[in-house]
Amino acid sequence: MKILVTGGAGFIGSHTVVELHQSGFEPIIIDNFSNSEEKVLTRLESIIGQPTVYYKADCNDEAALRSIFEKEQLDGVIHFAASKAVGESVEKPLMYYQNNIGSTLLLLKIMQEFGVKNFVFSSSCTVYGQPDFLPVTEETPRQEAASPYGNTKRICEDIIRDVVISKANLKAISLRYFNPIGAHESAEIGELPRGVPSNLVPYITQAAAGLREKLTIFGNDYNTSDGTCIRDFIHVVDLAKAHVKALKLLTDTDGNNYYDVFNVGTGEGVTVLQLIETFERVNNVKLNYTIGPRRAGDIEQIYAQVDKSQQVMGWRAEKTLEESLRDAWRWQQKLAKGTTKEAV
């Protein structure tokens, strides 16, 4: 089965390409490389043992998308491609609405034209906003989004659900990610965005490697055990495997119209300070960090209940926080040695 992976050269996308290949699917990448490097394709080849078909194109380019659908005869789509920095979305909301919602609308339109039924959407726990009760389940009411980024995910979920309700021959799953971290055990692919990282762990690893003068923790006056935000950190390989499980659930589901949502996390909440202390302990390094003001768009605490993912998809996270942080540091060290020069 041929599966189009939008944003397939990015952090989560590249790891999912590996897992798709290992599960017998044929991944086809589309990526504009705005937040990744083309050399990831070579690294993917070194992991899976063969080249991956890819197209350098933007998911808002209708002509390019239609050309890919005409050529490849796809069986499904996993949609990662999106702008994804919470802070940046507060500063540039129009860019986020255009890119994230526009690409999803276009994909759904072209999928319908070409009779492609299976769609896995990269959603986010940001759709829950700051929940009233923890852990969050899939039945937890979605709150007002705390950022334009979170709102784009919420709107896209609604669009997908409405298309399914219209009996448009679409089977779709939205995976609500929590906080992906770590890297592939080979240290061939991992997270290292261009410019200043917006996610915590790559900033930690860069600070540990001396590439950043210090790490700033955004706020220590939250109502948590140590005053810092609580998140549910999941290894990116576990997250990638969840996409394969979702795809298999869609292909095994009878009928032409299906929609569901699943939390993808570990079920454990960890504070930012606990994460930093764990990184220091397992990697035997000391971080230079300081406390700064709260960051616009951040919520205080969130972590998942994952019973539904286990029971319906047959998926659960297997890797520990310690493994995730060791893998993230191994990836950073490989970069520092110059054996992998570009970021993924």
Catalytic residue IDs: 149
CB environment 4-15: b (16+ within 10 A), e (fewer): bbbbbbbbbbbb
Residue 289: name the closest of 223, 224, 205, 232 by CA.
205
**CA separation for the pair 333, 330 (Å, rounded):** 5
Tokens linked to 253: 């589901």
CA 105, distance to chain mean position in Å, is 19
**CA separation for the pair 18, 250 (Å, rounded):** 19
In this structure, the strands spanning 270-271 and 230-231 are: antiparallel
* CA angle at 174 for the pair 52 and 47, rounded to the nearest 5°: 25
Cα–Cα separations (whole angstroms), residue 159 to 59, 106, 121, 243, 251: 17, 12, 11, 20, 21
Residue 30: name the closest of 49, 7, 62 by CA.
7
